[in-house]
Chains A and B, each alone.
Chain A
Amino acid sequence: DGGITQSPKYLFRKEGQNVTLSCEQNLNHDAMYWYRQDPGQGLRLIYYSQIVNDFQKGDIAEGYSVSREKKESFPLTVTSAQKNPTAFYLCASSIDQTGGEFYGYTFGSGTRLTVV
């Protein structure tokens, strides 16, 4: 079955460490997105990518970095510059950006990151 796989499901980070969250899709979607979810705040866009080797900052990109070397993969690195990284992170994809408007997004099951 096609879908989005996020790993790991739970991740613990020590202060000052960089960690990378994996997102892989086999839907042949061009567009991919990273969202951060905090209780009572809904979803906020971190980064998005319309095509391989291209990505743009979302609303809260500071302290995060991404790459898009393959169509299927869009990993997110949470750097030590992110001061409050504890959150639930969701990866999503759409056929393309226009398709995202019409057909909606497909979401992964998320990674819960906790700073210890």
Chain B
Amino acid sequence: AQSVTQLDSQVPVFEEAPVELRCNYSSSVSVYLFWYVQYPNQGLQLLLKYLSGSTLVESINGFEAEFNKSQTSFHLRKPSVHISDTAEYFCAVSQRGTYKYIFGTGTRLKVLA
């Protein structure tokens, strides 16, 4: 069965420090991988996605994620966070051809001044 695990429910980090939000998945077939961000009382916004090709994908606001097939991971990283990055981040997996997402339980990133 397909599943997504976000190991950390909360991650506090000081402003301008690096951060990594972890995501592992299990699937017996090929998948597409996504990271979404949710600000308080808002819907989710697509941050970045991996479909194929280069295993390192980047967003416009400095986040990046690397697909690691052998470790079945898709960790999200940013070298220097800002206060405005405080939000909840969701990893999602779509098993190719099923048209269905499985979401992780989310990681709440809190950036401290």
Binding site for B on A (CB under 8 A): 4, 6, 9, 31, 40-45, 90, 92, 97-98, 100-102, 104-105, 107-110, 112
Contacts and interface: CB of A to CB of B under 8 A. Distances in A.
B39 to A, nearest CB: 10
Contacts, number: 54
B44 interface: yes
Contacts of B11: none
What 9 A-B pairs have minimum CB-CB distances, sorted nearest first?
A107-B43, A97-B99, A104-B46, A42-B105, A43-B103, A42-B103, A107-B44, A109-B43, A101-B94
Contact of B101 (A102, A105, A110): A105
B44 A90 contact: yes
Given A108-B43, A109-B43, A101 B106 contact: no
